[in-house]
Structure 1
Amino acid sequence: MIHQIMIKKVQLTFFYSIFFLLIQTANANANLAYQESASDVIMNTLQTQSKQPFLKELYKHLFFIPVWMHNTELSTAGQELFEIIKKDETLDKNGRLYRNASKLETQVNGIYAGQATVTQKMDLEFKISQLYEAYTNYTYFGSINWGAFNARIANLMVNDVNTEWILHRPKAEPIAMIERAVFGGSLTEEFTEAMPRKYNYQALQQELIKYRNIQKNGGWLPVVIKGILKKNTRQKGVTSLRERLRITRDYVPCENSTEGFLYNKCLQKAVKHFQKRNGLHVDGEVGPGTLRVLNKSVEERITAILLNLDRIKWLKQRTSKRHVIINIPDFMLYFEEDGKLRQSIKTVVGTPKNPTPIFSNDVKTIVLNPYWNLPKSIIQKEMIPQLLKNKNAMTKQGIEIREGWAKDAKLVDPWSVDWAAYENAKHMPFRFAQVPGPKNALGRVKFLFPNKYAVYMHDTPAKSLFNKNKRAYSHGCIRLHKPRELLKTFASFNSNLDYEKSKNILKGKDKTYYSLKETVPVDVVYLTAWVDYDGQIQFRNDIYNYDKMQLKSFKKW
């Protein structure tokens, strides 16, 4: 170890000489002596700091030179760090991280105002590095304990609920960032560059600031409405409703509109705006459902924003020309092109007992007039119980039963099988396939993006479900309200996919595959708070209780 340190010191002496020659400092000799002493302290201290892996890794990459505490003043990177934290309005000013930064800055000013030893300066050096580590963790990795959350999801399997949330680790590299900043770069620019660009992340940050300001001003009082408030009726609670909507800027006074107890057209317009922002049925009436959401506290809204900011950090940051986003709590699909919304389509997603997984891939294949090959879970949970009651149950639904998966697999006579023997069997030797046609659960069009969950986007004969506000009814797949419109969109940039020809194929029953020349990334996400394409803050219900699970181990800074 001593030999290694001596080699390091020789390397450091050479490095310092070159470094200070480049910056041409008048006090280069004094600074060089300080740097060598500081490096000795750093190396000696880190030999005994087995519980500080970040510090060891950081100073190893930086040749054990001090990053923050220079000889006579705080380094440029150090000044930038304190300034960045002070200006970060998303940080809780009463939180531990912000208070720690303020305390450290005061200590630094005190150190340089008096006479301090190298050891004292290096003590602060380490503390600022730990502050930097904490702040980058807050900024880029967030507060969600993903290990604990995934363990909770795994525990759902006890109740026969099987799902997954695939993570994409943020690309920010705190040590590389400070390394570039120290050697001629800017820490401010490094932080800006590492910020998420997708999902209107920065706009959501601004909403967090707005809601924190609302909180500072006292939030909002509960709205008290008796029964269902309808247009042109009078109640005392109308005044509290108007003020509640004024605070969140849903209500804007109309010209020649009075503000008494009358629930007038102007206030109803504000209620509809609020309902739309919160995924409620937009009817302009204030009933129990709308009232419940109106009376969510500002603290609840702040928590939702913080939680979803952290979710965005762990989503795949796409740079492709086109992008499909399916937001489960919103029951919507969004097709982006060049960063702008090209198309939006209603969806039906998995039930809480059959949740749609959160994952990413690329739409590579489109199938017209698809067969529906039923998964083993649905065969055992739903089809076999039906067969035990009625051997002709599958025939009525247009479902063929075959001996296996070979192309020439023979049809099975349902009367010849003891179905009770397969209800809980580990192996299912039969293939259940619903033939193309009006009864097919996949409808007429299927969009494939390879994944281990057998989840895809598809048409559906159950169109009435799209009239509902909450649409969690599937076994996990994503049903589309207007799949032909999405087919037309894909055809517009895939030369081998002729939309007019496809419409003729869809009139028949022949299964047809199209391998896309231009594939499109698709991300299935779970956001209960976000900023939409019109710049409006949106909130949705936590349909799978993922908010609650993640908040159980949500770190406070």
Structure 2
Amino acid sequence: MRIYSILYLALICLTGACRDAQKKPYVRTAKDTLPAKSNIDPSIPGNFSPQRSMRFDSTQIGQFLSQYPLLKEYGSDIQKFYNSRQFSYAWFDSLGIIEQAGNLLNRIENIADEGLSQKVLYKGAFDTLVADEQNKTNDRTTAPSVDINTELMLTAQYFYYARHVWQGLPQKEVEAMDWFLPRKKIEKDALLDSLLRSPTDSFLADEPLYYQYYKLKDQLKEYRTIASQGGWPTIKADKKKYQLGDSGTAIKQIRAYLHVTGDLPPDDGSSLFDSTLARGIKSFQRRFGMNEDAVVGPAVIREMNVPVNQRIEQIVVNMERCRWVPARPMGEYLVINIPDYKLYVFNNDSALWNMNVVVGQAVHKTVIFYGEMKYVVFSPYWNIPPGILKNEVLPGIRRNPNYLASHRMEKVGNSYRQKPGPANSLGLVKFLFPNSYNIYLHDTPSKNLFGRENRAFSHGCIRLAEPKKLAEYLLRHQPEWTTDKITRAMNAGKEQYVTLKDPMPVFIGYFTAFVTSDGKLNFRQDVYNRDGRLAKTMMQ
């Protein structure tokens, strides 16, 4: 199914119209595997040779793992890989060790470039084994040889790399951080066979990672360079805000900061807030999801004064989140990024358009999960959730006998609901993707919140700034639903369910750092304070 081949960053939240839910849902595990390549010409120099004459005794795997016990957790992967090969060598051919071995060694020794703090297991032995075999292979005066420890060390290190770089933290630890998006699965043994068969220059080129990962990896390198050069200046503000025409020492510091981050051309050292600086401020505000008014107020100063090492940590934790999502976006889908307060409409890996959303308050944290949108409901009733009924509606009824009538509510059996209409808390349309959290997307009569920078105000569900636009998009393949008909249904005052011809995948995620299509690194506030916990978990 196309639902399991996806994601940008990824994202959502809850609104006052939704019921809080503590129960964790059953989440199907996404399958995002890469099949082994076929029809490879084994005569290409440096390629893996599909020979079967060079084999080893299966008991040597156990002996190797006894010698290098820290690699035992990869024992079952190693055994499975060689079972499928009838225990023939993978990293050696008739000419000696293959070139891909050096490439893998290089990638593992530079694992810090992947935003990971793990130390290479048995680094000294790994270096020595591969170097010795490479020297033997290059020495034309001696006959080529094979070494079982080098062979098994390379395979074990490959599985180590795949586990940490491609898959990330274990499922249990990820779910402990309330992340319930489907995790990708990687056929590591098939992928290893494929990589060994690839030309040397493309070894590890088809890594099963979401494209945002690579963009963040490039930015990690840039920000580490900034850190190595002393970071950026601290802004010492002597007034509440700075704007066009102002001057002072703080403005020189702001100008220097924007030059370091790439928001401003080369710094001319001026202390005047001119039009060039105003453009740089707008660039900064755009990257941080702020209103682009070119005014440097407390919020801008606060973000500028975040140390570079903290920004590096923010990049690293979002690289880790990218490891958890399917790698190859395919088809149409919706992504809601909670810290970004936006819904994105995607086709494959291209963002078509987006809209502002309102998400859950910090006390009503949005669940990060996946669903399939199946219904559009025009002129919906609002079935009042038990929590809101208990805390707001019933006390209101006790205080005011006309409470129900004044709020266009009615009692149906033992429950209460609000009638359709412009004043309905769900607005004129809602969008359902069945889930155990009772979360959905909907319109709202309160439009003023969409212009704010911080839009975490709801009890649960996601409020949409442009619900009619989404309805038109979802129903565009159902020609009977013209724009006029959608408008009439939204204002009919009579609830109407429409089943989508093709269910739409919806991904609700949490990314506080991401790179936009223009190549700009964006940061968002950690509205639910999730980054710190993930960073600590990664350091364990």
Q: What is the TM-score of this pair, normalised by structure 2?
A: 0.80
Task: Label 1:290 to 1:204 Cα distance change in 2 as closer, same or farther (>3 A).
Answer: same
One-letter code of the match for 1:128? Answer: L
Query: Does the 8 Å contact 1:225/1:235 carry over to 2?
Result: no
The aligned residue for residue 289 of structure 1 is: 299
Which residue matches 2:221? 209
Alignment deviations for residues 480-517 of structure 1 (CA, whole Å, 9 cap, x no partner)? 11111222223433223222112123333121222122
Conserved? CA contact 1:496–1:516, under 8 Å:
no
User: Residues 136, 149 of structure 1: CA spacing in aligned structure 2 closer, same or farther, 3 A cutoff?
Assistant: closer
Change (3 A) 1:128 1:458: same
**Change over 3 Å in CA distance of 1:56–1:126 after alignment to 2:** same
Secondary structure of the residue aligned to 1:515 is strand
Task: Please say which of residues 501-510 and 463-472 is displaced more in the overlay.
Answer: 501-510
Q: 1:150 aligns with which of 146, 166, 175?
A: 175
Instruction: Assess if the C-alpha contact under 8 Å between 2:102 and 2:130 holds in 1.
Output: no
Tell me which of 67, 76, 79 is aligned to 1:56.
Answer: 79
* Alignment pair present for 1:431 and 2:415: yes
State whether structure 2 residue 262 is matched by structure 1 residue 249: yes
Q: Residue by residue, what CA displacement relative to the aligned partner does 1:243-288 show, whole Å, maximum 9, x if unpaired? A: 111111101259xxx6421121211211111011112233222222
Per the alignment, residue 42 of structure 1 pairs with 61
What letter matches 1:519 in structure 2?
Answer: P
Q: What residue identity is the alignment partner of 1:439?
A: A
Correspondence for 2:519: 535
Who is 1:361 aligned against? 371
Once the two structures are overlaid, the 10-residue window that deviates more, 355-364 or 536-545, is 355-364
Percentage of matched positions with identical amino acids: 28
Which of 443, 446, 451 aligns to 2:430? It is 446
Q: Give the letter aligned to residue 536 of structure 2.
A: K
2:314 maps to what in 1? Answer: 304
CA distance in 2, matches of 1:517, 1:436: 25
1:382 paired to 2:392: yes
Which residue number in structure 2 is paired with residue 268 of structure 1?
A: 278
Matches of 2:200 and 2:510 in 1, distance apart?
32
Encode CA deviations 1:390-431: one digit per residue, 9 max, x unaligned.
Answer: 44433321121121xxxxxxxxxxxxxxxxxxxxxxxxxx22
Deviation larger for 440-449 or 339-348: 339-348
Change (3 A) 1:23 1:315: closer
Is the CA contact (8 Å cut-off) linking 1:84 and 1:188 kept in structure 2?
no
Deviation at 1:90, TM superposition (A): 2.7
Instruction: Find the counterpart in structure 2 of residue 488 from structure 1.
Output: 472
CA distance in 2 between counterparts of 1:371 and 1:454 reads 15
Go from structure 1 to structure 2 and tell me whether the alpha carbon gap of 1:439 and 1:141 turns closer, same or farther (over 3 Å shift).
Answer: same
Q: CA deviation at 1:215?
A: 2.3
Distance 1:36 1:57, change over 3 A: closer
Which residue does the alignment assign to 1:515?
499
Deviations 1:151-178 (A, max 9, x none): 3x5xxxxxxxxxx421322232222222
* Contact kept in structure 1, 2:339 and 2:511, CA below 8 Å: yes
* C-alpha distance 93-508 of structure 1, shift in aligned 2 (>3 A): closer
Match of 2:167 in 1: 141
Give 3-state SS (helix, strand or coil) of 2:358's partner: strand
Secondary structure (helix, strand or coil) at the match of 2:299 reads helix
Corresponding residue SS for 1:262: coil
Equivalent position SS for 2:180 = coil
State the partner residue of 2:288.
Answer: 278
Indicate how the Cα distance of structure 1 residues 263 and 113 shifts in structure 2: closer, same or farther if over 3 A, else same.
Answer: same
Residue aligned with 1:359, SS: strand
- What CA distance in whole angstroms lies between the structure 2 residues aligned with 1:188 and 1:206? 20
The two structures, once aligned, show a CA RMSD in angstroms of 3.4
1:263 & 1:380 partners in 2: Cα distance? 54
Distance between the aligned counterparts of 2:84 and 2:529, measured in 1? 42
1:110 corresponds to which residue?
132
Segments of 5+ residues of structure 2 without an aligned counterpart are 1-41, 46-50
| Structure 1 counterpart of 2:181 | 167
Partner of 2:4: none
2:62 and 2:224 map into 1 onto residues whose CA distance is 43
The 3-state SS of whatever aligns with 1:360 is strand
Match of 1:78 among 88, 93, 101: 101
What residue in structure 1 maps to residue 191 of structure 2? 177
Q: Which amino acid aligns with 1:308?
A: N
Q: Which has the higher helix share?
A: 1
> Aligned residue for 1:191?
204
Q: What's the CA shift string for 1:178-234, capped at 9, x where partnerless?
A: 23344x445875733333345x33322222222222223232232222112222111
CA contact (8 A) 2:515 2:521 kept: yes
Residue type at the aligned position of 1:210: E
Change (3 A) 1:24 1:478: closer
Counterpart of 1:426?
none
1:44-78 superposed Cα distances (whole Å, 9 cap, x missing partner): 55699775433333333333334336687323442
Q: Secondary structure at the match of 2:90?
A: coil
Distance 2:346 2:458 in 1: 25
Letter in 1 for 2:219: E
1:371 is matched with which residue: 381, 392, 396?
381
> Which residue in the other structure is 2:482 paired with?
498
Letter in 1 for 2:188: P
Shift of 1:363: 2.2
Which one-letter code corresponds to 2:301 in the other structure? L
Larger Rg: 1
CA deviations on 1:107-132 (whole Å, 9 max, x unpaired) are 4223565799x999433433333321
* Range that drifts further, 35-44 or 537-546: 35-44
273-282 or 483-492: bigger deviation: 483-492
Do the aligned partners of 2:114 and 2:217 also contact (CA within 8 Å) in 1? no
433-442 or 277-286, larger mean C-alpha shift: 277-286
CA contact (8 A) 1:178 1:187 kept: no
Do the aligned partners of 1:352 and 1:544 also contact (CA within 8 Å) in 2?
Answer: yes
Q: Give the aligned residue type for 2:149.
A: D
Q: Does the 8 Å CA contact 1:101/1:131 hold for their aligned counterparts? A: no
Equivalent runs, 1:462-481 vs 2, <5 Å: 462-481=446-465
Q: Is the 8 A contact 1:387 1:394 kept in 2?
A: yes
Matches within 5 A, 1:216-255: 216-227=228-239, 228-253=241-266
Query: Structure 1's 357 and 379: CA in aligned 2 closer, same or farther, altered over 3 A?
Result: same
Do the aligned residues in 1 keep the contact of 2:411 with 2:417 (CA within 8 Å)? yes
What SS does the aligned partner of 2:373 have?
A: strand
**Whole-Å Cα distance in 2 between the matches of residues 128 and 528 of structure 1?**
36
2:101–2:130 Cα contact (<8 Å) kept: no
**TM-score normalised to the size of structure 1?**
0.78
Residues 330 and 207 of structure 1: CA distance in aligned 2, closer, same or farther (over 3 Å): same
Figure out how many residues of one structure are paired with residues of the other and give that number. Answer: 484
For 1:459, the equivalent position in structure 2 comes to: 443
**Contact kept? 2:409, 2:418, Cα under 8 Å:** yes
Alignment CA distance shift 1:495-1:44 (3 Å): same
The amino acid of 1:171's aligned partner reads K
The farther-off stretch of 72-81 and 539-548 is 72-81
For structure 1, the residue ranges without an aligned partner over 5 or more in a row are 1-21, 26-30, 154-163, 404-429
